[in-house]
Amino acid sequence: MKFKYSFLLAIMLAFVLVLAACGDDDDVASDPEDSDPDDSTEQESDDETDDEPEVSDDDEVLIYARGGDSESLDYASTTDGESSRVTKQIYESLLDFEDESFDLKPGLAHDWDVSDDGLVYTFYLEEDVTFHDGTDFNADAVKTNFERWSGADDTYSFEDDGYVYSMYGTMFGGFDGDDGHVIDEINVINDHEIEFVLSEPLGFFLQNMAMSYFAITSPAALEEYGPEINENPVGTGPFEFVSWDRDDQIVLEKFDDYRVEGLPKLDGVIFEVIPDNSSRLISLNSGEVHIMDGLNPDDAAGVDAAEETVLYKRAANNFGYLGFQHEKEPLDDVLVRQAINHSIDRQAIADALYAGYAIPAANPVPPGYLGYNDDLEPYEFDLDRAAELLEEAGYADGFEIDLWTMPVARPYMPSPETVAEIVQNDLAQIGIEANIHREEWAPYLEKTDAGEHELFMLGWSGTNGDPDYFLGALLHSSNIGSSNASYYSNEEVDELLDQAKRAVEPEERAELYAQAQEIIYEESAMIPLVHSEPVLASLSNVQNYVPHPSTSESLAEVELQ
């Protein structure tokens, strides 16, 4: 890969600026086992200097500041939003979502057909599309990727290296050979036509095909990099990967052979890690970054009033929650869970931290989604009732427990440390001593997947506009050890969610999801805290930036004025 001098110069300047802004931040950690990707980049550019143009000031490199680093750049192996924010620029799926909604539009497939019985989906692929490594995109590449995730062909599954494609299993009813797996056949009709045959209907199959989890990787890159594909992503998207300095920055460069003429408009994008929200805002106001996510809601009014900055708001397509590890005492007792639920003052959290950009939550799915149960209200903040339930459970004197606290701001929780302190104080009033436990972001996700936690804080943002992505992913027992960090298991809830997943009629699906939410509510499976409208900001010279409800939007149309 060749680099323009001006692009490298822009990277170097941006890097110096961010070091100046963040060099004293003790929260930024590095992994000594990771090699420095900048070493190879520097050597490669040195080898090619004879053919490069003169230095130019014309390159447009956008710097996007975020609160945490990506977990993996192999999108299908992670549910981390900070990963999909980056991979959205590198990879493309067969379908895509409209800029501000979950309505479908063409992606790598320009058209598609669905049989009358809802069992056969045929996709017509774009022609003359190449991956960043110069190889051809075609139907065989699509089949290779889907069989990689399903396990039908384990050549590139890398399971021995710890890769788990949990979202594939969640969204397609399991893996190859599982009873619930709905993809029965994948047939390559020709280079640019591919057919998916389902064993039974799946109400949100097309929505899945637009998700960033199911974008297409170059088979040649899978062959070349093997399990290190998570650090060497190769897709067909508007930007191609350059380097990754862990807990610091990910650098992307414009893909000159992108399939859409005139895009991308930027020459490159740098995703910078600045853990503290206030520090990110300082970097924005000083012009050191162009876009920042995770704006403190209290700072929104000031950003909106300033001429130099622009305020954005995402739709309330999420919820932050306090979770229980159901397999650990005393959290396996429904009375204890209900007591804790009654002891948390959701309205106080919303008022103190979200500046009007959040509402208290009752359900683990956002309002307005298909099947949202309007009959349920958030548990009442009632310390007397909480104490009664604890006494009934045999814990009149309370108990001691660890409260795992997210180390980074997320769209659904812009200040997790403050939320943890509020929860800690609320629990103390009913005799529960909560010790705040902290981990770095990647270990936090890994250890909650592994069930090492007790009480914990997390959240979820929708990525396909369907309620199953919330309820099925977070609370179906088949996802214990991955997205079901609560280790919650209820056969009746599983059955309702399975029925809803396979139903085609929206009315039937809505009723099944509403029933499942009622059981989840009664069992206090988790404590939904708030649905937030995440706010973020940019400099006023950033043009055509449209935040997507999923929190991961393409930057192909963005330019710097």
Distance from CA of residue 103 to its chain's centroid? 19
Pair (250, 361) in one structural domain: no
The answer to whether the CB of 147 falls within 8 A of the CB of 118 is no
Pair (453, 472) in one structural domain: yes
* Domain assignment of residue 231, yes or no: no
Q: Report the pLDDT value the prediction gives residue 2, as an integer from 0 to 100.
A: 36
Pair (152, 215) in one structural domain: yes
Pair (432, 443) in one structural domain: yes
- pLDDT, the chain, mean: 89
The two three-digit tokens of residue 75, written as one number: 């999108």
Pair (121, 262) in one structural domain: no
The answer to whether the CB of 88 falls within 8 A of the CB of 536 is no
Pair (75, 118) in one structural domain: no
Tally the residues of the chain: 561
Pair (351, 496) in one structural domain: yes
Give the CA radius of gyration of the chain.
24
Give the position of tokens 């680099």.
Answer: 3
Q: Inform me whether the pLDDT recorded for 146 exceeds 70.
A: yes
How many angstroms separate the CA atoms of 93 and 429, rounded? Answer: 50
* Domain assignment of residue 229, yes or no: no
Residue predicted with more confidence, 18 or 416:
416
Instruction: Determine what percent of the chain is predicted with pLDDT higher than 70.
Output: 90
Summarize pLDDT for 474-511 with one digit per residue, the tens: 999 988 988 999 999 999 999 999 999 888 888 999 99
**∠498-499-505 over CA atoms, to 5°?**
130
DSSP code, position 151:
S
Measure the N-to-C terminal CA separation of the chain; round to a whole number of Å: 28
pLDDT band at 420 (very low <50, low <70, confident <90, very high): very high
Residues 6 or more apart in contact with residue 452 via CB below 8 angstroms: none
* Domain assignment of residue 230, yes or no: no
pTM metric for this prediction: 0.77
Residue 509 sits in a domain of what CATH number? 3.10.105.10
Q: Inform me whether the pLDDT recorded for 161 exceeds 80.
A: yes
With b meaning 16 or more CB within 10 Å and e meaning fewer, what string describes 61-71?
bbbbbbbbbbb
Which SS3 state, helix, strand or coil, does residue 272 take? strand
Query: Which of 190, 219, 248 is where one domain is finished?
Result: 219
Give the strand pairing for 109-114 and 120-125.
antiparallel
Summarize pLDDT for 48-76 with one digit per residue, the tens: 333 333 323 468 999 999 999 999 999 99
Pair (12, 33) in one structural domain: yes
* Domain assignment of residue 405, yes or no: yes
Residue 255 sits in a domain of what CATH number? 3.40.190.10
Give the closest residue to 532 by CA, choosing from 465, 468, 461: 461
Pair (19, 112) in one structural domain: no
* Domain assignment of residue 480, yes or no: yes
* Domain assignment of residue 227, yes or no: no
Which SS3 state, helix, strand or coil, does residue 223 take? helix
Pair (195, 147) in one structural domain: yes
The number of folded domains in the chain is 3
Q: Report the pLDDT value the prediction gives residue 70, as an integer from 0 to 100.
A: 94
Summarize pLDDT for 240-278 with one digit per residue, the tens: 999 999 999 999 999 999 999 999 999 999 999 999 989
The answer to whether the CB of 243 falls within 8 A of the CB of 41 is yes
How many angstroms separate the CA atoms of 270 and 232, rounded? Answer: 16
The answer to whether the CB of 216 falls within 8 A of the CB of 137 is yes
Q: Report the pLDDT value the prediction gives residue 1, as an integer from 0 to 100.
A: 39
* Domain assignment of residue 232, yes or no: no
How many angstroms separate the CA atoms of 557 and 201, rounded? Answer: 36
Query: Which of 191, 219, 247 is where one domain is finished?
Result: 219
Pair (241, 278) in one structural domain: yes
Average pLDDT for 339-368: 94
Query: Which of 154, 185, 219 is where one domain is finished?
Result: 219
Pair (357, 453) in one structural domain: yes
How many angstroms separate the CA atoms of 285 and 282, rounded? Answer: 5
Query: CA separation (Å) from 482 to 150, 169, 194, 474?
Result: 16, 10, 30, 9
Residue 157 sits in a domain of what CATH number? 3.90.76.10
Give the closest residue to 544 by CA, choosing from 262, 271, 316: 262
Domain that holds residue 149: 95-219
Which SS3 state, helix, strand or coil, does residue 556 take? coil
* Domain assignment of residue 490, yes or no: yes
Residues 6 or more apart in contact with residue 27 via CB below 8 angstroms: 275, 276, 407
Query: CA separation (Å) from 27 to 274, 278, 279, 435, 440?
Result: 9, 14, 12, 20, 9
Average pLDDT for 344-348: 95
How many angstroms separate the CA atoms of 547 and 369, rounded? Answer: 19
Say which range, 56-65, 199-208, 215-224, has the weakest mean pLDDT. Answer: 56-65
